[in-house]
Amino acid sequence: MALVNIHFLNLQNNYLFADIAKKVNAFKVMHPKAEVISLGIGDVTQPLCPAVTEAMHKAVDEMATAAGFHGYGPEQGYTFLREAILKNDFLPRGVHLDIDEIFINDGAKSDTGNFQELLHWDNFIGVTDPIYPVYIDSNVMIGRCGTYRDGRWTNVRYMPCTAENGFVPELPKGRPVDVIYLCYPNNPTGTVITKQELQKWVTYALKNDALILYDAAYQAYIQDPKIPHSIYEIRGARKCAVEFRSYSKTAGFTGVRCGYTIVPKEVSVSTLTFGRDGSRSEELMQASLFPRSNATFEGERISLNQLWLRRQCTKFNGCSYISQRAAEAIYSPEGKQQVKATIDYYMQNARKMLQTLRSLGYECYGGENAPYVWMRTPDVFQKEIGAMAPTSSWKFFEALLYGANVVCTPGVGFGPSGEGYVRFTAFGSHEQTDEALRRIKDWSRRSNSL
């Protein structure tokens, strides 16, 4: 009898974007003439830049010749792209990596989701809250998160990121966390981390023998030269961190698919040891009932670089030659200039959003080094409690949809600490963003309260 992986049945249906679509559709049915503008989308809208499309055309033409045809490529990615990454993304920031530490992928989602496969099921994970949902869900699939109660997983350390702590989580107290997910610039809050703050996390990881999984998918949006683009700008990170990068938001590759993961050779994790806790010892005994050849299980160190290579060679057949040539093109002088122009375009939206929303009295965060603005919903008088309290994320979402015909994303959809916030994205066109802001201004002035 084939049995299901029951951990998949524990997944909570993340209906966030489906729920948003349902509510927007219901609104459109009732108001067929209204033109709804979405500032909720996380996808880019501007076309690929000419340097990229030229490189793709050229690669297609090559593939049409016997001499230039490319079949399966190297699982780790083509050398031309990995060399361009080393030379352009890391060397200028004083980060020296080996080419074998770079793994080209088909976007950061796959690797941020898959990497946890290399880790024992009973590692204790810590996540920033609110969070990009892939980190938790991929751990739920392997049974690492415990049970879901009151909107939280029992075996996950949620590290709140709110206005009160400047959106940088406090170091975990009590039971040490084994695997830490950090994402900066952050989706959804649009906030960043300083070198000093990031150093604290690296120091924590080194001290507690923890692993940091660092998602830098939005690093290209950093404007402030003091903010780190890579965790490897931090002393000691080569020993404890894996970093994920993506061309999706950097160069509009959401439909092209290409990114990369850095796994330094020094990053290692331990095999099981006796006596660390009961469950692990039991697991060890079971393992010895079904011995693998050459498995020692005695706390030896295992290189994640080697393990990830092994995993990729087994499960991944590489990102297409055309996508990798496209990615290489963003490092040419014209490519760099064109990609920067598109990022500037989106950041102009972010600046306008911040300016308008703040001028209306809303408390806003992010938006300066990331394409997301994270806004606190206004306090209103709540009859149920007889006092002023923040409007819920969903209530604000609906008020904005019905009042201004503008869509935002309710913050609570990204985790419990997102309640009382909404996210606006800067990925729209200038025209749509301007129009949405004009409507928000009118609506906000019309309605004194929700």
Residues that bind ligand PLP (CB under 6 A): 42, 107-109, 112, 132, 183, 187, 215, 217, 246, 248, 254, 259
Query: Residue 35, Cβ neighbours under 10 Å: how many?
Result: 10
Between CA 442 and CA 445 the distance in angstroms is: 5
Comparing CB distances to ligand PLP, the nearer of 160 and 236 is 160
Q: Are 393 and 377 in contact (CB under 8 A)?
A: yes
Between CA 155 and CA 10 the distance in angstroms is: 13
Task: Classify 174 as helix, strand or coil.
Answer: coil
Q: What is the DSSP letter of 125?
A: E
Helix (H) or strand (E) holding 19: helix 16-30
Between CA 394 and CA 412 the distance in angstroms is: 8
Comparing CB distances to ligand PLP, the nearer of 124 and 247 is 247
Comparing CB distances to ligand PLP, the nearer of 183 and 222 is 183
Least separation, in Å, of the C-beta of 250 and ligand PLP?
9
Between CA 420 and CA 156 the distance in angstroms is: 22
Comparing CB distances to ligand PLP, the nearer of 188 and 378 is 188
Least separation, in Å, of the C-beta of 258 and ligand PLP?
8
Least separation, in Å, of the C-beta of 326 and ligand PLP?
14
Which residue of this chain has its Cβ atom nearest to ligand PLP in the complex? 107
Pair of tokens at residue 171:
């170091």
Least separation, in Å, of the C-beta of 362 and ligand PLP?
23
Comparing CB distances to ligand PLP, the nearer of 136 and 183 is 183
Between CA 97 and CA 87 the distance in angstroms is: 10
- 168: amino acid identity, one letter: V
Contacts of 287 (CB under 8 A, 6+ apart): 272, 295, 297
Query: Residue 381, Cβ neighbours under 10 Å: how many?
Result: 11
Least separation, in Å, of the C-beta of 307 and ligand PLP?
22
Q: Are 422 and 408 in contact (CB under 8 A)?
A: yes
Which residue in 324, 287, 265, 220 sits closest to 97, CA to CA?
Answer: 265
Q: Are 415 and 342 in contact (CB under 8 A)?
A: no
Contacts of 116 (CB under 8 A, 6+ apart): 125, 138, 139, 142, 144, 179, 213
Least separation, in Å, of the C-beta of 268 and ligand PLP?
25
Comparing CB distances to ligand PLP, the nearer of 404 and 408 is 408
DSSP, residue by residue, 166-197: TT-PPPP-SSPPSEEEEESS-TTT-----HHH
Least separation, in Å, of the C-beta of 249 and ligand PLP?
7
Least separation, in Å, of the C-beta of 346 and ligand PLP?
14
Comparing CB distances to ligand PLP, the nearer of 75 and 215 is 215
Between CA 118 and CA 443 the distance in angstroms is: 50
Comparing CB distances to ligand PLP, the nearer of 221 and 268 is 221
Q: Are 265 and 305 in contact (CB under 8 A)?
A: yes
Q: What is the 3-state secondary structure (H, E, C) of 260-291?
A: EEECCCCCEEECCCCCCCHHHHHHHHHHHHCC
Least separation, in Å, of the C-beta of 112 and ligand PLP?
6
Between CA 403 and CA 137 the distance in angstroms is: 34
Least separation, in Å, of the C-beta of 81 and ligand PLP?
15
Between CA 180 and CA 159 the distance in angstroms is: 10
Comparing CB distances to ligand PLP, the nearer of 187 and 338 is 187
Comparing CB distances to ligand PLP, the nearer of 250 and 305 is 250
Least separation, in Å, of the C-beta of 43 and ligand PLP?
8
Comparing CB distances to ligand PLP, the nearer of 217 and 400 is 217
